[in-house]
A = this chain, B = another copy of it.
Amino acid sequence: MTVALDDYALFLRKNGIKVTPQRLEILRYLDKNRNHPNADMIYRDLKKKNPSLSRTTVYNTLDTLRSHNLIHALTISESELRFDSIINPHQHFLCKKCGEIIDIEVECPYLKEVLQGGHRIDEVHGYFKGVCKDCLAKEGGS
């Protein structure tokens, strides 16, 4: 999933995933909220409109989407998985001040070099951590 989708049901069907209202809602949520939410953010937000939603369904659906390689999981936080509906190769910046996770649009030039080690590489994660531009500005001349 890379650009905003118009037909989530079709998208699921095309990927061999059975269509359910819960999956549609979670998929739409990920597509519309590109701030790398965690499972609980998704659960709490969607629970408002669908009070019978189960936390387990959120976890199950995220696992399903991951196993079909339609979303990615980030381990940039030390305590929880964050989910990314944009699967184009890109890296991430975590602001330790405000907690925001910002996309960094650089490509990984290591790959060829690392592949020469003989390992098979399936995933590349580039995580930068520090203080974001906005938080730095707010801090001012402290």
Contacts and interface: CB of A to CB of B under 8 A. Distances in A.
Interface of A: 73, 75-78, 81, 91, 93, 95-96, 102, 104, 106, 108-110, 113-114, 117-133, 136
Given A75-B77, A77-B75, A110-B91, A129 B122 contact: yes
* Closest 3 pairs (CB-CB, A-B): A118-B133, A125-B127, A123-B129
A91 B123 CA distance: 13
Given A77-B75, A78-B75, A119 B106 contact: no
A106 B95 contact: no
17 contacts: A76-B125, A93-B117, A106-B113, A110-B128, A119-B130, A119-B132, A119-B133, A120-B130, A121-B128, A121-B129, A122-B129, A122-B131, A123-B127, A124-B128, A125-B127, A125-B129, A126-B127
This chain's copy number in the assembly:
2
A110 B106 contact: yes
A75 B117 contact: no
B91 A119 contact: no
Contacts of A124: 126-128
A106 B124 CA distance: 14
Contacts of A121: 93, 128-130
B114 A93 contact: yes
